[in-house]
A = this chain, B = another copy of it.
Amino acid sequence: MARLSDIIEDFIKTLLKQSEGELELQRNELAEYFECAPSQINYVLATRFSLDRGYYIESRRGGGGFIRIVQLDLDKDDYLLYLINERIGNSISENETKDIVTNIMERGIITEREAAIINTALEDKVIAIPANLRSIIRANILKAMLVAILRSRV
């Protein structure tokens, strides 16, 4: 018997195809449909619709809440994807960051102003926390910003 998680994964992917890469769903509704625990939906999203696999998840709680799944526009040799999934890793310095940001600006991927915004945000003096933690948080933020750029390109 096929795993439920795989079935849910396929189900969501079918819906995504029908809706051109962007989809909103209700966690409880889906869980009820598949007669599983609501948290299993989170499990499927975490394991099958991760950033590594090219998906982006947003959600909102409370009345009228939802989960939105966005399929990123993936091009296998996309430089941004390489940066997000390989180059940056979980820790990066201010200087490395500036090199990368300057580079994608020169490639015409971001504007000069966007580069300025990103660079300023990631300066050591701005992220005023202990150095070891800082490099980790900087990597997080940089990757998140690059994902935002990926998304807004579609």
Interface flags, A74-97, vs B, CB<8A=1, else 0 = 000000000000000000000000
A140 touches B152 (CB 8 A): no
Copy total for this chain: 2
Contact B145 A137 (CB under 8 A): no
Interface centre among A64, A117, A136, by most chain B C-beta atoms within 10 angstroms, is A117
Please name all residues of chain B whose beta carbon is closer than 8 Å to the beta carbon of A152 when the two chains form the complex.
112-113, 116
Interface residue A129 (Cβ < 8 Å from any Cβ of B): yes
Whether A121 pairs with B121 at a CB distance below 8 angstroms is yes
A56 to B99, CA, bound (A): 22
- For residue A9, CB closer than 8 A to chain B, the reply is no
The 8 A CB mask of A123-154 against B (1 = contact, 0 = none) is 10011110001001100110011011101100
Chain B residues positioned under 8 Å from A118 (CB to CB): 117, 121
